[in-house]
Structures are given as C-alpha cells and as structure tokens.
Structure 1
C-alpha cells in the first residue's frame, strides 16, 4: 500500500482508505467489470471512474465522508469500493451506505466486513443517526448484507436512476 493514502478504517482483513487519483486504473478494472456491475445501470467507463473518484475526494472535503477504496490488508490489492454518500433515495436525501466488491472476491464476507465497519464508523465517529442501504430487489447477496447488519426493510420503490428496477430500501431505524 502506498504511504500517501489515508486509512479511514482498518478491519481484520481490510484497509478502507481515501481515494487518490492514482487509484483510477485499479478501480476502473473493478467498476468496468460486467459481472461485478450487473446490478448497476451499466459498467463504468474510464471517464465515469475518474468522475467517481473526483466526486468522492470532493465529498471528503465537504461532507467529511464518501466512498472509499477497499484493499486487502495482506497485499494492498484494491478489491472494491465502499462508504457513505448523500444520495436521493425514494424522494429523500439519505446517508447511503454502499459497497461494490469485485466478483473475484464475492462470497468471502468482504462486503459485510467493510459495511459493518463503515456503519459503526458512521454512527460512532460521524454521528450520523440514519443510514440507508438500497439495492435492486433481485440482489439477494446485497440484501443479505443489509439484513446481517441489522437494518430493517423500510420500503420498495422503482428506481429511476437504475432502469426503473424494483429497489429495496433498508434503514438503520
């Protein structure tokens, strides 16, 4: 792991840290993967990945949080993206906890490990009182993470930003 990256959260197996411009190639390999991004409107282009990183670096400055790089502690390899952004969900601006783990690393508990640590950080360090997670209704693995975190299903709605897919909204209360 390069020394100029600020670790926000450390877990047993992961370092969750702020993005830098140097993350573009590694993150693009994840966000452009069709299987990894199957539940998103489309895989990201290189430009969309650059904009994602830029938006999150800006969010660190304006909000004090954002989406972060998820790295394997042992190797420093970037395997995903997770964090909290302000996002309109079903007509309300919410603190949205999201996670994207490269498909090569699915079913190993990384999404839950990252999300649990971020949820705790959001409540204890950031003082956020309401956290939401949203996912397409057919994204069983992501829904499983939300349930395991103790969030409750609040509603379902048609997500106009994601092909009008039926979307589940989970919240911390």
Structure 2
C-alpha cells in the first residue's frame, strides 16, 4: 500500500480492494451520503473503489484512504480528483468520512495536507472543493482550508439537478 501523505494524526495512502469493508461503512451510510441523495449499494461502492484505483494509474492520484495513526483504522477518504465546473476541468480536494469520526478535525487536517500536496508536489495553481449547497459541514472544512466561494452551479447527479458551490484557494507562490 503506497503512502502518499502523513500528518500528525493521519496517514493518507492509496486504497486497495482490502479497504472495501471500511469504504462500505462510509458510502453505504444514509446519513453520511445525504449530499449524494442516498447511500450507495454494494455495486456502486465497488464501482467507486474501482474508479479510484483507475485514477491512481491514469492521474497519479485520487481519493486516498485516511488511516488513523494510533489505531491503523481507515476512517475516511480524502484526496485529489479532476472534476468539472461548468466547462472547466479543475483539481478538487474531496473528503468523505465515517460518521463516527466527524467533529474531530480529521477532514480539515487531511484537506489541508492535500492542498499542500497539490501546491508543493503537483505545482497546482489552484485547488477546489465542490460542495452541495446543503452541506454546511463540508463548507466549513473548505473555509478552514483557506477557500472562498468562486461560483455556484448545478451538477446533474443521480437523475437530479443539485446546486453546488465551487470553493477554491490559489497557490500564492
């Protein structure tokens, strides 16, 4: 398993098929997945994991497993993916965590580390977080990561039009 980033409390590493059970606890939880209009089923969870494994090969990054250093438990996923905002392809920091670990600052810690990775290792000029307009907790993570709202747009997902905000922060170097 390839380690990408370490922070004081977390290790971010590439996911493997062995992470499916921990990933299921996140993606198949209705409350966690409210911004996606519902939990995933087994097939959708496997497709999500397969997409991340493919992104590691094609892009060199994707959403990574977030591992608690002290317990070695996978508590979430955070990382970088290419997403669309209108017709622009942007580099996004995404994060999804097991609900039992919410409120501990892990998402912020991991998102900041991803921003630093994008600016330092990938020489990105700007990174985004694309957040559904009802997801206040994720908006707060983006704000703590130094991001500002750049635009509001509609994403079509699961046969629905969902308003989203595109937050971003620019590399100052």
TM-score greater than 0.5 by the shorter chain? yes
Matched residue count:
169
Unaligned runs of at least 5 residues, structure 2:
none
Is 1:133 the counterpart of 2:143 in the alignment?
no
TM-score where L is the length of structure 1? 0.92
Structure 1 match to 2:45: 49
Structure 2 match to 1:70: 66
The whole-number CA distance in structure 1 between the counterparts of 2:157 and 2:85 is 10
**Which of 42, 53, 60 is 2:56 aligned to?**
60
Is 1:166 the counterpart of 2:157 in the alignment?
no
Deviation digits for residues 1-55 of structure 1, max 9, x if unmatched?
Answer: xxxx211111111111001111112211211001111111321111222122221
What is the correspondence of 1:18-97 to structure 2 with a 5 Å cutoff?
18-97=14-93
Q: Which has the higher strand share?
A: 2
TM-score where L is the length of structure 2? 0.92
